[in-house]
Amino acid sequence: MPKKLVILCLLFCFFINAIAQSNATFKVIAFFTGKNDQAHISYVEEANKWFPAMAAKYNFSYDTTTNWNNMNDEFLKQYQVVIFLDTRPDEPAQRAAFEKYMEHGGGWMGFHFAAFALTPSDFPQDWGWYHNHFLGAGSYVSNTWRPTSAILRVEDNTHPATKNLPETFASSASEWYRWENDLRKNPDIKILLSIDSTSFPLGTGPKLDEIWHSGYYPVVWTNKKYKMMYFNMGHNDIDYEHHTNKTLSYTFNNKIQDKLILDCLLWLGNNDKKTAVQK
């Protein structure tokens, strides 16, 4: 192809993208790290294909960054929704900017490891506002293993994110977390989905404590003081045993679960600051 034609094609694509961005009903920025755990890397790569596809279909824009220094007032003011795909900000200035963003009506969606905190670890519980107040869950306590599908029960079908869901459905496979705090006792937290008792036993081990036989486990919830939603999903199954690192399960391949995530994002992005917070 002649060089001039290539340049014209690139300029045309840039122009079309600019028009799409300017016509978008809302803008999303996804922060992620995408390192260390292949299960999280696989999920992040999957998410960064699924969300742009949804953005093109539902007329919002989706950007990504691995630079957590972008967690600042000037950068965040461009976006109506922030997503934490796998981790959280660690620097005081980044955390202060995120708190300010949320306190002033910004939207947030977080997945799986974005809520993880364990002391001692590389992700200690050293951010009380985020883990105890905003998320309400406190520290991580334990998890199921291997990643498996669970039957999830909708606890509130009046919320915009859950109103189109059946009473129960089978999720995509994930590693499920147990938390320090009982979210049912927090008046600010609205639990939307939990693991149904028909899921038990949940997990395959090999460790016995990685298989749950009973208990109450919320997996999707919102804090009524903010425009936010947390999803415990976001951990693909990986072939570690044969050292192939091949992805064995996917997060965004479940019609009902995908509908939940999409409806949540549209709720976060399309509601203004006055109406978005659930009272």
Predicted confidence (pLDDT) per residue in 197-218, tens digit: 999 999 999 999 999 999 999 9
Indicate whether 17 pLDDT > 50: no
Winning range, highest mean pLDDT, from 11-20, 23-32, 134-143: 134-143
Greatest Cα pair distance in the chain: 67
Q: Where are the domains of the chain?
A: 26-276
The residue with greater pLDDT, 263 or 2, is 263
Give the sign of the dihedral formed by CA 62, CA 249, CA 222, CA 166.
positive
pTM: 0.90
pLDDT of residue 12: 43
Listed residue (210, 82, 196) closest to 146, CA to CA: 210
How crowded is residue 63: how many other Cβ atoms within 10 Å of its Cβ? Answer: 15
**∠ Cα 85 83 11 (to 5°):** 100
Whole-angstrom Cα distance, residue 117 to residue 120?
9
pLDDT of residue 5: 54
Q: Which two tokens stand for residue 190?
A: 């609205």
pLDDT of residue 97: 98
CATH superfamily of 26-276: Class I glutamine amidotransferase (GATase) domain (3.40.50.880)
Whole-angstrom Cα distance, residue 152 to residue 68?
33
Contact 99, 67 (CB under 8 A): no
Indicate whether 14 pLDDT > 90: no
Residue 4: pLDDT band (50, 70, 90) is: low
Neighbouring residues of 185: CB distance < 8 A, sequence distance ≥ 6: none
